[in-house]
Amino acid sequence: MTTNSNATKKTLVIGGNGKTGRRVAERLLVQGRPVRIGSRTGEPAFDWHRPETWGPALRDVDRVYVTYQPDLSFPGAADQVGAFAEAAVAAGARRLVLLSGRGEEAARTSEDRLKDSGADWTVVRASWFHQNFDEDFFLEPVRAGEIALPVADAVEPFVDAGDIADVAVAALTDDRHIGRTYELSGPRLLGFGEVAAELSKATGREIAYVPVSDGEFRAALREEGLPEEFAELFALILDGRNAHLVHGVEEVLGRPPRDFADYAREVAASGVWDV
């Protein structure tokens, strides 16, 4: 059953300029549903670290797509997510859809805190996105022709941000998804060598995967001014906990997830990887 919300009520999309949030907002607007973008540059502004911004952002909102940066497993995330969820429910925004990390045990505390708020919740778990290669930290390595990571020959079922957004929109707008946790993956497992081969095929130039040690990768993060905690996220690939397919996309949407090769061809045609 699809919810027919009051037309004056908005959906707050936290991280509405990000990889999944932007797509969620676009899809809701196509459906004619009012949206408020939750970001530090939004009107009104939303900032996870400034709780005084939460109330104005929640005004006239009845549902929220909740994403947390940099990651739900980072220190302090659970307390902020829990406090925000309680504030949202108190403000009348009971419908909360949380984007969580597949295989991230540390993220479960944040999930539990959101559930304990009394919200009508849905949790959507995903791991590595296709779009990390053109909208995030892998963009410059792809342009440079070398992806250096500490993941050896491990495999990952990369998932498309568009599929995540479609699932999130379904969860925000259909009461059948209340109280459900969905795990999402793409249609196949890929090693980073295979990813590099797909990118090479799509771009028509050589893009190599170069295995490096954890220490070398952490040093590179420090040099780029990025948190070393990002290295812990690669451990989720290395230990194989997500090295199997799940079927949340099919369960929610009734169709298969998008393949990495299709994503790579489309992005290559856009020119974003051109050098």
**154 part of a folded domain:** no
Which pLDDT score is estimated for 7?
Answer: 63
- Give residue 192's pLDDT band: very low, low, confident or very high (50, 70, 90): very high
User: For 132-184, how does the pLDDT look when each residue is reduced to its tens digit (9 = 90+)?
Assistant: 999 988 999 999 999 999 888 899 999 999 999 999 999 999 999 999 999 99
**106 part of a folded domain:** yes
Residue 237 has pLDDT above 80, yes or no: no
Report the percent of the chain where pLDDT is more than 70: 97
Residue 231 has pLDDT above 90, yes or no: no
Q: What is the pLDDT averaged over residues 258-272?
A: 98
- Give residue 226's pLDDT band: very low, low, confident or very high (50, 70, 90): confident
> Cα separation of 20 and 235, whole Å?
23
Question: Which among 15, 156, 153 has a CA at the least distance from the CA of 97?
Answer: 15
**265 part of a folded domain:** no
Which pLDDT score is estimated for 151?
Answer: 87
Any bridge partners for residue 65, and if so which? 13, 97
Any bridge partners for residue 146, and if so which? 208
Residue 63 has pLDDT above 80, yes or no: yes
**203 part of a folded domain:** no
**98 part of a folded domain:** yes
The C-alpha angle 267, 187, 127, rounded to 5 degrees, equals 75
**What string of DSSP letters covers 82-133?**
HHHHHHHHHTT--EEEEEEETT-TTHHHHHHHHHTTT-EEEEEEE--BGGGG
The answer to whether residues 35 and 29 touch, using CB atoms and an 8 Å cutoff, is yes
Strand-pair category, 190-191 with 155-156: antiparallel
3-state class (DSSP) for residue 201: helix
Which pLDDT score is estimated for 115?
Answer: 98
**48 part of a folded domain:** yes
> Cα separation of 38 and 12, whole Å?
6
**253 part of a folded domain:** yes
Range of the domain at 78: 10-127+160-185+243-257
Q: What is the sign, positive or negative, of the torsion defined by CA atoms of 28, 123, 159, 42?
A: positive
- Give residue 2's pLDDT band: very low, low, confident or very high (50, 70, 90): low
Provide the CATH number for the domain around residue 83. Answer: 3.40.50.720
> Cα separation of 272 and 275, whole Å?
9
Residue 5 has pLDDT above 60, yes or no: no
- Domains in the chain, number: 1
Q: What is the pLDDT averaged over residues 127-131?
A: 94
**Of 70-74, 235-239, 243-247, which has the strongest mean pLDDT?**
243-247
Residue 61 has pLDDT above 90, yes or no: yes
**18 part of a folded domain:** yes
